[in-house]
Every structure is written in structure tokens, then in C-alpha cells.
């Protein structure tokens, strides 16, 4: 069956990209090997919580996106191809078909027969990222390390292409911070994402042609501002992993600045535009009159005088409250003129 399939052609890849891609695939293989015995010693975004099963090794695409930023999620699906893809450029994700579990020659023969059968081909689904020459299996992932171990150079697979942004659209910033280094990536001068595993990411992105800088641009929001507004300015639909929308951050900062300027231009004041110290004589006099009216009210018999003193006390109390309550906004300059 494999003779009827054509081999995937990666001859267009620059040598440095091809070498970096193969090394990137090997990194995952080494991580999955280590994760079989000690998954707790590996970052969970590179492997998972356990040695096998659904919480074991990450799929190839998840592994790629947890290291390399800005893989778009809104891509146009293309017509699938049936190809023989190079094992050395394909991410493995084994929790069933580890080669050392199949020492019996008959088991080995059955697995190989399945891999190269029509049913075995149709049970695969590989995402191909042509800019790096990388194949990320979602189905048919267990067979990759088996083929790697048995030196099977090409795997039959159904392939779907998923493009990555051009290198010119991406900038990397390697920043010296307290306690070490931070690496941030920016796409189109708008979307920012911190690269956690830069030791794995930098060789591949450098070979791809991404420009690397040593200083964060002054016209971008500061890293602290990005982190402060991460939750409210997160773009979680355009890419496989969340990124920070720096345009949204700038909009938030502009609104905050406008609000702060408004607070500086205006001041809360009372109805008389006076401070409490300036009004102390009025407040004391009104309070005294109010107390007198309440005394008269208390000792008066039912009648017009009692009702009048009670009404007068309520009015004075209301006047005092309205006079000292800061319920009006006035421009500072206007208040100074008054």
C-alpha cells in the first residue's frame, strides 16, 4: 500500500530550519521518555500529570503550541493528502505502543502490518505546519515512536495543512529581569505572548528567521502593564493559546488616563462651594438654632407653635446636611474664581 503513496517533499526547507525541526521533534521524544518514569519532574504543559493514559504525553499540536507562540486557530481547512511523512519530522505521543513492550516478533509484525494497511492509514490525522516541516498527529500518534525505534523512515498518514505566520510578522525580545531572563514574542506589533520554554523555542524561531531583540520597545505598554491587564485584554479565540492584545491594553490605559485627568480637573463640593472650615460659623449657628427649636418643641403644648418649631428644626437640619454634603462636581479653576 505504501508504494502507491508519494513521499512528503521537504526539500524546500532551508537546512537550518530542517535541522532545528528534527531537533525539536527529538526534544519531545526525550521528554516523553523521561515522563514514563518521572512525570512529576516535567513541566505539566510539556507532558502531563501521569506516565500514560489521557493525562500522559501531550499531543504534538498541544506540545508545539505550548512552546511556539501564535499558531492561528482560525485556519482554512485544506483538502487532505495521503502521504508518506518523514518520521524524523513527526511528533510522537505514545502511551500504548512503546517499542520495548513488543519484544515478540509476531507482535511487531502485526503492528507494522496495521500501520501500512488501508485501515491504518484512514485512522490517522496529521496536521502539517509547512513553514517548519513539522507533522503533529492527533490520530495515529502512538505509532510514531514505534517507527522511530524500528528505523521506519516514513509513516503513511492523512495530512491536513495548517500555516504559521511569516517570520517578518514576529519579533522576539530577550529581556534581562530580576532573577533571570524573560522572553516575549510580539505578532504584528499587537499581540504579545510570553515564551516560557525559550530554550526549546529560540533555536527553531531563530532558524525560521524571526528577529531577536534585547530591549523592549518604548512605544509598547510595559511588561508590568501587560500583566496587570492580562485578564481583561486577553485574546482567546484567534490563536491556540491565549495572548495579550496590546491594542486593548493601550485602550484601557488611555481610559484610565482620561479618568485621572477628569478627577484632576473637577472637585466635589457642597452647595455653597466652601470648605467645612469656612462654613463652621454657619454650621454652628444653624445647629444652635436647631437645638433651640427642638427645646421649644419639647416643652410646647399641642398647637401651631409646636408644629412650627418641629418643621423649623427639620428644615434647619436639612439645610445643614445639604450645605456640608459633597454632592456637586465643579471645575477647580471655577471654584478658585468663586
- Each residue of 270-312: pLDDT tens digit? 555 455 555 565 667 667 777 777 776 666 767 677 777 777 7
- Sheet architecture: strand order including 134-139: 6-7, 81-86, 154-161, 125-129, 134-139
Parallel/antiparallel/unpaired status of strands 170-177 and 211-213: parallel
Distances (CA, A) of 337 to 54, 333, 334: 73, 6, 5
Q: Beta-strand (E) ranges in 188-335? A: 191-194, 211-213, 234-235, 243-245, 266-269, 328-331
Long-range residue pairs from 123-126, CB within 8 A, at least 24 positions apart, any chain = 124/155, 124/156, 124/157, 124/158, 125/157, 125/158, 125/160, 126/85, 126/90, 126/157, 126/158, 126/159, 126/160
pTM exceeding the 0.85 threshold for the entire prediction: no
Between CA 21 and CA 297 the distance in angstroms is 94
Q: Beta-strand (E) ranges in 47-179? A: 81-86, 125-129, 134-139, 154-161, 170-177
Q: What is the mean pLDDT of residues 122-146?
A: 94
Distances (CA, A) of 82 to 71, 121, 176: 23, 8, 46
10 Å CB burial of residue 214 (0-12, 13-18, 19+) is exposed
- Each residue of 191-240: pLDDT tens digit? 999 999 999 999 999 999 999 999 999 999 999 999 999 999 999 899 99
Between CA 142 and CA 59 the distance in angstroms is 10
Give the pLDDT band (50/70/90) at residue 336: very low
- Which residue in this structure is represented by grid cell 502531563? 48
Between CA 243 and CA 73 the distance in angstroms is 12
| Of 61, 93, 69, the residue nearest 160 (C-alpha) | 61
Number of other residues whose CB lies within 10 A of the CB of residue 239:
19
Domain ranges within the chain, ordered by starting residue? 2-161, 167-263, 270-337
Torsion angles phi and psi, residue 119, rounded to 5 = -65, -40
pLDDT value of position 18? 98
Distances (CA, A) of 133 to 129, 145, 329: 6, 18, 64
295 or 332, which is more confident: 295
pLDDT value of position 193? 97
How far apart, in Å, do the first and last CA atoms of the chain sit? 94
Parallel/antiparallel/unpaired status of strands 191-194 and 180-187: antiparallel
Amino acid at each position: 500500500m505504501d508504494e502507491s503513496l508519494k513521499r512528503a517533499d521537504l526539500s524546500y526547507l532551508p537546512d537550518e530550519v530542517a535541522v532545528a525541526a528534527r531537533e525539536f521533534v527529538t526534544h519531545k521524544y526525550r521528554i516523553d521518555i523521561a515522563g514514563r518514569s518521572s512525570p512529576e519532574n516535567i513541566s505539566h504543559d510539556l507532558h502531563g500529570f501521569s506516565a500514560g493514559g489521557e493525562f500522559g504525553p501531550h499531543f504534538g499540536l498541544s506540545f508545539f503550541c505550548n512552546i511556539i507562540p501564535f499558531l492561528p486557530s482560525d485556519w482554512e481547512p485544506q483538502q487532505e493528502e495521503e502521504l508518506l511523512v518523514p518520521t524524523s519530522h513527526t511528533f510522537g505521543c505514545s502511551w500504548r505502543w512503546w517499542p520495548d513492550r513488543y519484544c515478540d516478533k509476531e507482535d511487531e509484525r502485526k503492528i507494522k502490518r496495521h500501520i501500512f494497511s488501508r485501515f491504518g492509514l484512514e485512522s490517522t490525522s496529521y496536521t502539517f505546519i509547512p513553514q517548519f516541516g513539522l507533522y503533529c498527529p492527533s490520530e495515529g500518534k502512538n505509532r510514531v515512536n514505534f517507527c522511530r525505534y524500528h528505523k521506519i523512515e516514513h509513516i503513511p498518514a492523512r495530512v491536513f495543512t495548517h500555516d504559521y505566520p511569516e517570520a517578518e510578522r514576529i519579533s522576539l525580545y530577550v529581556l534581562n529581569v530580576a532573577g533571570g531572563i524573560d522572553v516575549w514574542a510580539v505578532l504584528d506589533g499587537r499581540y504579545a505572548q510570553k515564551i516560557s520554554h525559550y530554550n526549546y523555542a529560540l533555536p527553531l524561531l531563530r532558524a525560521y528567521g524571526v528577529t531577536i531583540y534585547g530591549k523592549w520597545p518604548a512605544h509598547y505598554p510595559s511588561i508590568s502593564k501587560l500583566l496587570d491587564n492580562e485578564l481583561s485584554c486577553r485574546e482567546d479565540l484567534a490563536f491556540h493559546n491565549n495572548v495579550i492584545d496590546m491594542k486593548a491594553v493601550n485602550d484601557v490605559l488611555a481610559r484610565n488616563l482620561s479618568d485621572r485627568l477628569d478627577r484632576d480637573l473637577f472637585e466635589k463640593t457642597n452647595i455653597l462651594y466652601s470648605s467645612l472650615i469656612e462654613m463652621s460659623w454657619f454650621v454652628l449657628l444653624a445647629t444652635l438654632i436647631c437645638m433651640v427649636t427642638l427645646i421649644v418643641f419639647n416643652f410646647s403644648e399641642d398647637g401651631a407653635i409646636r408644629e412650627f418649631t418641629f418643621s423649623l428644626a427639620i428644615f434647619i437640619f436639612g439645610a445643614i446636611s445639604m450645605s456640608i454634603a459633597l454632592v456637586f462636581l465643579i471645575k477647580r479653576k471655577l471654584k478658585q474664581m468663586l
